[in-house]
Amino acid sequence: MESITSNEVAGFAVGALLLAAALATPKVDAFIAREQRRDLKLCMECGGVTRIPCARCKARGTINQNIFSFDDSNKPTTCPACRGRGNFPCPSCCGNKPGSSSSS
């Protein structure tokens, strides 16, 4: 069969990749997501949502101050990295707005 169109090949490739992503590690899944973002011309950092989840508090806005303590009474404190918001403005989007002249 030589009559396979490039669209069918692409569809098969995407299907295989998605199947692989479903079976493989989240790392691969993240890689696929990045590829999709690039295809859709979305921001590579935030995917178009203009927000980056805080890695320090895992986007919760609070962190456990004494993570090595087994004391159950330790209260979560406001994350100093994101100041309790749980996310940051995307530097790729929000730091590069059209209209704001940046002279470097």
| Cα gap 62→56, rounded to integer Å | 9
Verify binding: residue 81, Zn ion, rule CB under 5 A.
yes
Verify binding: residue 83, Zn ion, rule CB under 5 A.
no
Size of the site for Zn ion (CB under 5 A): 12
Verify binding: residue 51, Zn ion, rule CB under 5 A.
no
| Residue selected from 64, 74, 92, 96 as contacting Zn ion according to rule CB under 5 A | 92
| Cα gap 22→17, rounded to integer Å | 8
| Residue selected from 14, 17, 34, 45 as contacting Zn ion according to rule CB under 5 A | 45
| Residue selected from 17, 32, 33, 93 as contacting Zn ion according to rule CB under 5 A | 93
Indicate the SS3 state at residue 62: strand
Indicate the SS3 state at residue 64: strand
Indicate the SS3 state at residue 53: strand
| Cα gap 79→90, rounded to integer Å | 18
Q: Which residues bind Zn ion (CB under 5 A)?
A: 43, 45-46, 54, 56-57, 79, 81-82, 90, 92-93
